[in-house]
């Protein structure tokens, strides 16, 4: 045959019974006289060993983000081997150009720049590299202002970028070069062995057919083999010509030449890309964004607006708040714990529980629950917030007495009036003070409380057509009423005119307005030192809890009839004119919000023939039925039995069994996403469905009500990808749909059943173990309300549907942590509150006003709260089960960052530290260290101290949370890649797959580090300064071309600009720099005619400034919160447009109510780009802060 003539025959072998591919080990030569243990092989192996050893020792490499334990510098060899201690496999698979990283390292070393990778995860053609000139000190201006308006970065090559430190690029290049060499050696050896065996096979058979193959297949196989041989022979011949003709010249020539050609090609290509990218960048033709750049504006803006029937005022029925069973009140800290324990004991007596097995664990401070039970007496000698308040009262009464002596020159302005601090102390300790000599008679206390708590609205009235945001009247009325009762009916001195019959007194100066605002807000402080408030807003949270409650048999211990009535009231008053509900309170109606809320109201007992229920059903059917809702709503429908599981895309629990280094391991996801899809995977893998779904008449009715066709006739598999356009914020990419279709085949084809059943069992076991770890780490609070409800159902399923199971009872105990009552009813919050976040901001505002010691008990209580809230740092928290999970082994296994020393968003018991919350908590503590009154209380033993080790723990958390792009994410380092968003299955949310770096987290973290370094310069100063420089460069890299920063966690650009400017200044940027001045020009360009600023959640949704965003809920398009943020940014930058600052300050003062409060306007918070969330504290905290900062910066020029 032709093949035998072209190629010399190899020694004859035995008859082959399979395809003639080499089975010889890849690095073993076919002929004994040829060895591949050549200098080239030795070089590759040596490079690999040396580079791995160096990378194990080099400090900067040790500090990278990864899946395993954080908060320490050194890792064991096993941790590196299994992917826990580093990301070498990430770098190898997605590292892009190591050569360019080496060049950038040289650039950095030679030109005193700093390498800042853009971390684009491969989503851009070029990766962003920032090379920013360092400040030389003395206020020198930037030398690169010319191109700063384009982008303060230079461009490299596609790939995953890591700030590896000074030695990182070189180490990484060694690793990749050695693997290239070894890989090519192995591949080429395999090809050569296959070449030899193919030659032998063809010459042996000489074209005769193979017995076990058809003739056509034989012919094609021979043709393919001959083509392969002709190609390899050409390469062999080319290789042989390069060296002397020896017995093995062709073999060695192939190896050497291919490696040389590959290296030359790669270096040439990457160099060309670097040059092209550099030119495109400096000319501004193409400037890519890193993965953490939010982008925008969105091409498809939200066009629909919500609408409620005009004048439809809802007044909370009194019987919902007060009846024979008591009245609703907010219990906090130990009072809350006693209340919960008493409820469970009562349930045991009534026979609702066989035995109380659950216990509340973790730090009580910060817990806030709504109850109808009276305050329970203390049952033990545990130190509580009441003991703290008694000690503070004694401390400051003595201090005040010494000030009022004959030698005291600082007399009270109203000597005959009651002492305000004594009043506060009496209130805190529940000790009635002596009544004043004269009690106001002209104002009834009830009317006074209503006036103070109303926020300028009619008492307990809710009219969504005017403002769909509640203003927390019920909670504020409770706190103000208690304050007046315990202080003889007297208000703080700053508000005394409201009781004396005097004419209304508006503050004359900026500082008077700020002080009155603090005085009012101090009345709202809870007994444990935090400020509580409404953190509701999303409509999709509470329905999940209601579904869980219904599935579990509607236990009254979980949701009593009183809870159900208030929840039903909330859902009724938020229904819009078209019959639907929005994803959140200010959102236009969506199928996501409507389907899930309709399900909830029916489960709560609303009848299908009620008018408002009919309107909701009409909306759903008009949009195509429940098959058109988003995947999260479909999941709850599947669980309750109103949708077949075939209608939901697969959530395979066996994904958790993948090795940690796998490119798309679930452990790499953002923790909120990860902890939701964890129980989803368990429940999907178990195909959990409400046990009585087939016999429950309500479920049968819902199956008829929710769909446009008969339930039994629906092709469920064909509905998996259906979603209404109004829900489709992040459309599922084609690749993800393809992957979901493949998973559908995997789920439904019987051929995969043996494998699927085997791995699914192991996957379910791991999911259950991981959920139990999450429950214990958070004292059964869980990271958020969605996974709280899902984990609860999963625990119920794992217990074989036993309400007496300890884990189930522990879950039920913590349900109340998420519920809140306001004038619009009972809602489920987006967290178990925003206690630590709001309190940290509030005390910084008071500090910047210079009034910490004017309100010493308030300030001291904040210290106590922050001390008790630092995670895993107090006796109570370290006695909880959560503390055992802080070990490196457990953190590695369950993908947790170091927790000890951080501060949470809410409470210590919640257990999840966050970068910005840790930063703001640390800044709050550092601010209080400037208060002689607070430090005096610490010195005297009234307050517990916070030692240096605890402060160092907080700094460690912040430093280890810095991402590889120089910025800070939320809970963890970014572990994934930008292309993960192509796999986002949620439809309704954006950018949820990885923990991006944000301007807010970056500012809070680096400003905390900077302020800590100012007070304690001896601790890790070099690392802190390096972190500040990298953080500042990151913040410049995500600044938008118009000078603004996008705010990801509030509305929106005014918020982002405040964080951006303040962060850059703390990082060392001169206020006169172009970056800061550009932001100032952006803010000034959006100031409204009345002096204020305003935008709403559509700024976040559209990623474009909502010029008229506050027309509906603000004052002529302006709002107090946005105005405060803008003023804080401008005053931090020392903006020289004093007239604009004065107009903004006057706007805030004009909007302040007589009592010192400000009105509740639009929704302030946002998350996941598309969902608004409420912060009622913001309307008080930020105006106070802005007034104090502006007064300190501009002085008397603002008054008058």
Taking only the tens place, the pLDDT of each residue in 78-108 is 333 333 333 444 444 333 333 334 443 444 3
Place of tokens 């192995």: 186
Using the predicted structure, report yes or no on whether residue 401 has a pLDDT greater than 80.
no
Could you count the other beta carbons within 10 Å of the beta carbon of residue 345? 12
**Exposure of 601 in the CB half-sphere (CA atoms within 13 A):** 29
Calpha distance 501→480 (Å, rounded): 19
Summarize the confidence of residues 684-704 as an average pLDDT. Answer: 97
Calpha distance 245→222 (Å, rounded): 30
* CB contact at 8 A, 58 and 170: no
Long-range Cβ pairs for the range 270-274 (8 Å, 24+)? 270/97, 270/99, 270/100, 270/157, 271/99, 273/97, 273/100, 273/126, 273/156, 273/157, 273/158, 274/97, 274/100, 274/103, 274/155, 274/156, 274/157
Lowest average pLDDT, out of 79-83, 472-476, 1130-1134, goes to 79-83
Using the predicted structure, report yes or no on whether residue 950 has a pLDDT greater than 90.
yes
Could you count the other beta carbons within 10 Å of the beta carbon of residue 149? 15
Lowest average pLDDT, out of 312-326, 785-799, 800-814, goes to 312-326
**Exposure of 870 in the CB half-sphere (CA atoms within 13 A):** 29
The CA-based angle 596-600-604, given to 5 degrees, is: 175
Could you count the other beta carbons within 10 Å of the beta carbon of residue 621? 14
Lowest average pLDDT, out of 298-312, 694-708, 1095-1109, goes to 298-312
Calpha distance 1188→1195 (Å, rounded): 10
Question: Confidence class of residue 809 from pLDDT cuts 50, 70 and 90?
Answer: very high
Higher pLDDT, 699 or 235: 699
pLDDT the model gives residue 966: 84
Q: What is the mean pLDDT of the chain?
A: 79
Question: Confidence class of residue 50 from pLDDT cuts 50, 70 and 90?
Answer: low
Q: H/E element holding 1129?
A: helix 1120-1132
Per DSSP, 827 falls in state E
Calpha distance 1057→68 (Å, rounded): 34
Q: What are the tokens at 1165?
A: 């918070």
pLDDT the model gives residue 178: 59
Interacting residues of 1109 by C-beta distance below 8 A, sequence separation 6+: 1051, 1094, 1095, 1096, 1097, 1098, 1099, 1117, 1162
Could you count the other beta carbons within 10 Å of the beta carbon of residue 131? 18
pLDDT the model gives residue 648: 97
Lowest average pLDDT, out of 111-125, 203-217, 231-245, goes to 111-125
Using the predicted structure, report yes or no on whether residue 500 has a pLDDT greater than 60.
yes
Higher pLDDT, 1177 or 441: 1177
Q: What are the tokens at 710?
A: 């008969």
Question: Confidence class of residue 203 from pLDDT cuts 50, 70 and 90?
Answer: low
pLDDT the model gives residue 1200: 60
Interacting residues of 710 by C-beta distance below 8 A, sequence separation 6+: none
> Residues of the chain with pLDDT > 70: what percent?
71
Calpha distance 934→943 (Å, rounded): 8
Query: Would you say the pTM of this structure is higher than 0.95?
Result: no
Q: Annotated catalytic residue: which of 916, 995, 1096, 1102?
A: 916
Higher pLDDT, 187 or 866: 866
| Nearest CA-CA partner of 130 in 176, 97, 82, 163 | 163
> How would you class 1036 by CB atoms within 10 Å of its CB: exposed for 0-12, middle for 13-18, buried for 19 or more?
buried
Hey, CA dihedral for 953, 817, 580, 642, is it positive or negative? positive
* CB contact at 8 A, 1102 and 301: yes
Higher pLDDT, 2 or 226: 226
Higher pLDDT, 213 or 813: 813
Question: Confidence class of residue 1103 from pLDDT cuts 50, 70 and 90?
Answer: very high
pLDDT the model gives residue 581: 98
Q: 827 forms bridges with which residues in the sheet? A: 820
Q: Count H helices and E strands in the chain, helices first.
A: 44, 13
Summarize the confidence of residues 257-279 as an average pLDDT. Answer: 52
Higher pLDDT, 320 or 140: 320
List pLDDT tens digits, range 711-759: 999 999 999 999 999 999 989 988 899 999 999 999 999 999 999 999 9
- Three-state DSSP at 813 gives helix
Higher pLDDT, 260 or 1030: 1030
* CB contact at 8 A, 601 and 563: no
| 649 alpha carbon, distance to own chain's centre | 25
Higher pLDDT, 1048 or 80: 1048
> How would you class 809 by CB atoms within 10 Å of its CB: exposed for 0-12, middle for 13-18, buried for 19 or more?
buried
Q: What are the tokens at 209?
A: 């057919």
Domains of the chain: 39-239+266-283 (no CATH), 319-327+536-828 (1.50.10.20)
pLDDT the model gives residue 396: 77
pLDDT the model gives residue 384: 77
Could you count the other beta carbons within 10 Å of the beta carbon of residue 614? 13
Could you count the other beta carbons within 10 Å of the beta carbon of residue 326? 13
List pLDDT tens digits, range 515-534: 999 999 999 999 999 999 99
Using the predicted structure, report yes or no on whether residue 513 has a pLDDT greater than 70.
yes
DSSP state string for 557-592:
TTS-HHHHHHHHHHHHHT--TTS--BSBTTSPB-HH
Summarize the confidence of residues 979-1000 as an average pLDDT. Answer: 90
Strand 368-371 relative to strand 154-155: parallel, antiparallel, unpaired? unpaired
Summarize the confidence of residues 1051-1063 as an average pLDDT. Answer: 96
| Nearest CA-CA partner of 1000 in 1031, 1030, 957 | 1031
Q: Is 161 a catalytic residue?
A: no
pLDDT the model gives residue 685: 97
Using the predicted structure, report yes or no on whether residue 433 has a pLDDT greater than 90.
no
* CB contact at 8 A, 999 and 1060: yes
DSSP state string for 1152-1195:
--TTS-----S--EEETTTEEE--TTHHHHHHHHHHHHHHHHHG
| Nearest CA-CA partner of 866 in 423, 393, 362, 363 | 363
pLDDT the model gives residue 240: 41
> Residues of the chain with pLDDT > 90: what percent?
57
Summarize the confidence of residues 190-206 as an average pLDDT. Answer: 64
* CB contact at 8 A, 1000 and 1034: no
Q: In what order do the strands lie in the sheet with 154-155?
A: 115-117, 128-131, 154-155
| Nearest CA-CA partner of 998 in 938, 1073, 915, 1075 | 915
């Amino acid at each position: 045959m032709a093949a035998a003539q072209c190629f010399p025959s190899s020694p004859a072998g035995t008859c082959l019974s399979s395809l003639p591919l080499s089975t010889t080990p890849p690095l073993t030569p076919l002929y004994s006289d040829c060895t591949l243990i050549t200098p080239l092989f030795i070089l590759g192996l040596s490079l690999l060993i040396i580079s791995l050893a160096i990378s194990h020792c080099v400090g900067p490499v040790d500090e990278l983000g990864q899946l395993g334990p954080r908060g320490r510098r050194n890792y064991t060899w096993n941790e590196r081997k299994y992917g826990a201690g580093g990301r070498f496999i990430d770098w190898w698979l997605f590292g892009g150009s190591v050569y360019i990283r080496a060049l950038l390292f040289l650039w950095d070393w030679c030109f005193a720049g700093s390498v800042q990778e853009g971390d684009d995860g491969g989503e851009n053609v070029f990766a962003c590299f920032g090379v920013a000139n360092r400040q030389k000190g003395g206020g020198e201006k930037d030398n690169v202002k010319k191109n700063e308006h384009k982008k303060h970065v230079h461009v490299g090559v596609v790939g995953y970028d890591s700030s590896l430190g000074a030695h990182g690029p070189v180490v990484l290049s060694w690793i990749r070069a050695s693997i290239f060499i070894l890989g090519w050696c192995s591949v080429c050896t395999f090809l050569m062995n296959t070449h030899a065996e193919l030659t032998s096979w063809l010459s042996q058979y000489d074209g005769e057919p193979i017995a076990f193959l058809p003739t056509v297949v034989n012919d094609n196989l021979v043709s393919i083999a001959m083509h392969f041989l002709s190609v390899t022979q050409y390469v062999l011949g080319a290789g042989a010509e390069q060296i002397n003709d020896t017995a093995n010249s062709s073999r060695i020539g192939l190896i050497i030449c291919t490696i040389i050609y590959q290296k030359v090609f790669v270096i040439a290509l990457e160099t060309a890309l670097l040059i092209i990218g550099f030119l495109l960048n400096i000319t501004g033709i193409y400037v890519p964004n890193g993965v953490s750049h939010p982008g925008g504006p969105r091409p498809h803006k939200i066009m629909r607006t919500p609408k409620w029937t005009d004048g439809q005022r809802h007044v909370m029925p009194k019987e919902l708040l007060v009846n024979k069973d008591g009245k609703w009140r907010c219990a906090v800290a130990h009072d809350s714990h006693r209340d919960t324990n008493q409820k469970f004991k009562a349930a045991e007596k009534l026979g609702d529980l066989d035995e109380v097995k659950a216990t509340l664990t973790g730090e009580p401070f910060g817990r806030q629950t709504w109850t109808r039970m009276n305050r329970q007496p203390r049952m033990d000698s545990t130190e509580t917030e009441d003991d703290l308040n008694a000690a503070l009262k004694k401390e400051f009464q003595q201090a005040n007495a010494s000030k009022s002596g004959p030698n005291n020159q600082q007399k009270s302005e109203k000597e005959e009036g009651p002492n305000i601090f004594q009043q506060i102390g009496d209130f805190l300790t529940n000790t009635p003070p002596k009544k004043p000599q004269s009690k106001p008679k002209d104002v009834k206390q009830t009317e006074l409380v209503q006036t103070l708590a109303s926020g300028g609205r009619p008492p307990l009235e809710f009219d969504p057509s005017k403002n769909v945001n509640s203003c927390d009247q019920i909670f504020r009325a409770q706190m103000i009423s208690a304050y007046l009762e315990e202080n003889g009916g007297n208000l703080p001195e700053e508000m005394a005119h409201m009781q004396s019959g005097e004419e209304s007194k508006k503050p004359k100066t900026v500082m008077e307005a700020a002080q009155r605002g603090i005085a009012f807000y101090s009345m709202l402080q809870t007994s444990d030192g935090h400020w509580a408030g409404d953190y509701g807003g999303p409509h999709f949270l509470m329905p999940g809890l209601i579904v869980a409650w219904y599935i579990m048999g509607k236990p009254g211990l979980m949701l009593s009839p009183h809870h159900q009535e208030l929840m039903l009231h909330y859902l009724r008053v938020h229904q819009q004119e078209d019959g639907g509900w929005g994803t959140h309170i200010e959102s236009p109606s969506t199928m996501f919000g409507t389907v899930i809320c309709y399900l909830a109201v029916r489960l709560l007992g609303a009848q299908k023939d009620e008018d408002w229920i009919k309107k909701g059903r009409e909306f759903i059917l008009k949009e195509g039925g429940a098959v058109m809702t988003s995947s999260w709503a479909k999941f709850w429908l599947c669980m309750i039995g109103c949708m077949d599981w075939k209608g939901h895309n697969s959530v395979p629990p066996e994904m958790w069994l993948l090795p940690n280094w796998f490119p798309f391991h679930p452990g790499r996801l953002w923790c909120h996403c990860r902890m939701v899809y964890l129980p989803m995977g368990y429940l999907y893998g178990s195909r959990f469905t409400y046990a009585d779904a087939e016999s429950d008449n309500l479920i049968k009715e819902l199956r008829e009500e929710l769909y446009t066709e008969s339930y039994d006739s629906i092709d469920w598999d064909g509905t998996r990808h259906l979603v209404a356009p109004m829900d489709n914020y992040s459309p599922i990419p084609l690749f993800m749909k393809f992957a979901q279709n493949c998973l559908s085949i995997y789920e439904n084809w019987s051929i995969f059943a043996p494998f699927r059943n085997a791995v699914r069992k192991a996957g379910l076991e791991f999911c259950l173990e991981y959920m139990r770890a999450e429950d214990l780490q958070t004292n059964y609070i869980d990271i958020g309300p969605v996974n709280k409800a899902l984990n609860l159902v999963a625990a119920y399923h794992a217990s074989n549907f036993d309400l007496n199971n300890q884990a189930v009872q522990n879950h039920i105990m913590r349900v109340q942590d998420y519920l809140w009552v306001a004038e619009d009813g009972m809602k489920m919050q987006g967290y178990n509150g925003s206690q630590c976040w709001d309190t940290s901001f509030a005390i910084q505002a008071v500090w910047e006003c210079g009034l910490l010691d004017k309100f010493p008990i308030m300030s001291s209580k904040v210290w106590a709260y922050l001390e008790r809230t630092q995670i895993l740092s107090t006796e109570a928290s370290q006695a909880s089960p959560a503390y055992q999970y802080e070990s490196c082994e457990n953190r590695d296994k369950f993908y947790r960052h170091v927790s000890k020393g951080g501060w949470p968003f809410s409470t210590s018991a919640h257990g999840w530290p966050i970068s910005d919350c840790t930063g703001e908590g640390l800044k709050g503590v550092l601010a209080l260290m400037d208060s002689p009154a607070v430090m005096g209380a610490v010195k005297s033993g009234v307050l517990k101290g916070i030692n240096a080790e605890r402060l160092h723990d907080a700094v460690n958390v912040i430093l280890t949370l810095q991402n590889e792009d120089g910025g800070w994410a939320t809970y963890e380092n970014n572990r994934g890649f930008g292309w993960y968003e192509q796999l986002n299955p949620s439809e309704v949310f954006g950018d949820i797959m990885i923990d991006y770096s944000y301007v807010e987290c970056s500012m809070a973290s680096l400003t905390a580090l900077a302020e800590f370094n100012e007070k304690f310069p001896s601790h890790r100063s070099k690392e802190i300064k390096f972190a500040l420089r990298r953080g500042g460069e990151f913040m410049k890299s995500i600044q938008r071309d118009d000078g603004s920063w996008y705010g990801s966690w509030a509305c929106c650009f005014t918020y982002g600009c405040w964080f951006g400017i303040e962060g850059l200044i703390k990082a060392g940027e001169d206020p006169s720099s172009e970056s800061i001045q550009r932001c100032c020009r952006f803010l000034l360009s959006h100031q409204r005619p009345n002096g204020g600023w305003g935008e709403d959640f559509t700024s976040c949704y559209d990623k474009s400034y909502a010029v008229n965003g506050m027309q509906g809920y603000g004052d002529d398009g302006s709002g107090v919160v946005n105005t405060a943020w803008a003023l804080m940014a401008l005053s931090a930058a020392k903006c020289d447009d004093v007239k604009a600052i004065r107009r903004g300050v006057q706007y805030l003062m004009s909007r302040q109510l007589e009592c010192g409060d400000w009105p509740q306007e639009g929704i302030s918070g946002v998350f996941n780009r598309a969902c608004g969330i409420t912060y009622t504290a913001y309307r008080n905290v930020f105006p106070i802060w802005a007034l104090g900062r502006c007064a300190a910066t501009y002085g008397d020029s603002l008054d008058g």
